[in-house]
Amino acid sequence: MAQDAKIALITGANRGIGLETAKQLGKTGVTVVVGARSLSAAEETAAQLKADGIDAYPLQLDVTSAADRTAAAKFFADKFGRLDILINNAGVAASTGFEPVNSQVKDDELERIFSTNLFAVVALTRELLPLIKKSPAGRIVNLSSILGSNGLHADPASPIYGFKSFAYDGSKAALNSYTIHLAWELKDTPIKVNSAHPGWVKTEMGTDAAPMEIPDGAKTSVALALLGADGPSGSFIHLGQQLPW
């Protein structure tokens, strides 16, 4: 690891957009820590990245586990003394995919989705924030979705008007709210906090029907992770463009 290399944590980094984000960041010289639910998955991913010339470390991190979150903070404190980039990439979809399920959504479905997509993000970020504050230019990227845009959902002319799955959409709308509030809290620091819409990407969640390839889906997260001092904070971005909340 280069002495001045930035340190990044990507959650859910063992596949899909998370893995590609780790690759793209690593190729810029960032040291990447790949979080995955199992240590074996994290180790396999880190080995794959190292074989590609990337400085990578594995980390067992089920974001819904308080013990794993605490262990992650200890890992960064002991190993690096700080954290420069946190990409809250891990997330889950509705069990029904993106079929409309609204008034009939079950409590356990709401709890499952909000637990990963919102509550775990808040808890992990809180755990790691003291280490991010030690960075000269901390960056927090929350992986959201255009389906979290209340403005577009309310507009009959919008392209997502007919795509309504409340549990997933609501979790991402709430995540966007967290981005706004955290950015405000940190407005007098060098830390920037933004929500990223990766696009509709050919992943396990996005399916093969998606129009975007995985490398393009990682571009927004990478750009927000590497923002300069003049970059935005408290924004909802897709490929450099502001999205409506």
| CATH 3.40.50.720 for domain 7-242 | yes
- Catalytic residue (one of 57, 168, 192, 219): 168
pLDDT in the model for residue 199: 80
Catalytic residue list contains 133? no
pLDDT in the model for residue 95: 83
The whole-angstrom separation of Cα 168 and Cα 203 is 16
CB of 53 within 8 A of CB of 34? no
In residues, how long is the chain? 245
Among 172, 128, 166, CA closest to 146: 172
The whole-angstrom separation of Cα 177 and Cα 100 is 23
pLDDT in the model for residue 207: 67
The whole-angstrom separation of Cα 47 and Cα 68 is 21
The whole-angstrom separation of Cα 137 and Cα 85 is 9
pLDDT in the model for residue 206: 59
pTM: 0.94
pLDDT in the model for residue 17: 94
Domain map of the chain by residue range? 7-242
- Catalytic residue (one of 6, 23, 172, 219): 172
SS3 229: coil
Catalytic residue list contains 161? no
- Per-10-residue mean pLDDT of the chain, 245 residues long, equals 85 96 98 98 98 98 98 98 98 80 88 98 98 98 97 96 94 98 98 93 63 84 98 97 97
